[in-house]
Amino acid sequence: MSQCERTSWEFPALPYAYNALEPYIDAQTMEIHHTKHHRAYFDKFYAAIQGTELESLCMKHIFSMVSTLPLAVRNNGGGFFNHKLFWKVMGPNGGGEPQGALAEAINQSFGSFEKFKTLFNEAAANRFGSGWAWLIVKEDGSLAVTSTANQDNPLMDIAEVKGFPILALDVWEHAYYLKYQNRRPEYVSAFWNVVNWSAVTERFEKASQ
Ligand code: MN
């Protein structure tokens, strides 16, 4: 696999205020999610790699051989990476539709933006238990909607469908229970109002480089 730069092992700040995604995702959920859940994944991941050869590798490299590593690396490394991506692809003043090359790729792979959304909503709703829904760029450059269990992700060698994730949605109950309780589909539908399509487009461009 290609070389990738070492990631700095720092817990990332949320790129906006805890209440920035209101009313779609409430401030209390965001604060607990970031300072407790995400923080715990980061701390446990770092504890698992500190002083080992993994410390000098980037996440992509670690995920590419995660099946050979301790389960703590898979679960907490996934939790660390997935949430960092999740925060980035949301933001205040989000929503709408992607433009340009990403919009074209979505039309080409799914037929239309609405059809893509339907597939993504289904992936998020049908993920049994805890996990994530993804929009990924596959090796052949096409887009696909997938979902993974727990804190797995499409960069991992154990993923059923592999690819470079450009949009992520956390469907663990901790991501929505305070506001939506058992109504996961309402949370998924609210999510579209906070998607930061410029961030998703940047990742799409990064994937095709
Ligand atoms: Mn989460």
Check residue 61 and give its pLDDT: 94
* Distance from the alpha carbon of residue 141 to the mean position of ligand 1, in angstroms: 28
Q: Identify whether the C-beta of residue 127 lies closer than 8 Å to the C-beta of residue 135.
A: no
Residue 6 has pLDDT above 90, yes or no: no
* Distance from the alpha carbon of residue 187 to the mean position of ligand 1, in angstroms: 13
* Distance from the alpha carbon of residue 33 to the mean position of ligand 1, in angstroms: 6
Query: 208 pLDDT band (50/70/90 cuts)?
Result: confident
Q: Closest Cα partner for 77 from 155, 175, 160?
A: 155
Q: Closest Cα partner for 41 from 59, 28, 61, 56?
A: 59
Query: 7 pLDDT band (50/70/90 cuts)?
Result: low
Check residue 53 and give its pLDDT: 93
Q: Closest Cα partner for 172 from 147, 197, 143?
A: 147
Rounded (10°) angle between helices 113-126 and 184-191: 150
Check residue 11 and give its pLDDT: 96
Residue 2 has pLDDT above 90, yes or no: no
Q: What are phi and psi of 96, to 5 degrees?
A: 80, -155
* Distance from the alpha carbon of residue 203 to the mean position of ligand 1, in angstroms: 20
* Distance from the alpha carbon of residue 100 to the mean position of ligand 1, in angstroms: 30
Residue 110 has pLDDT above 60, yes or no: yes
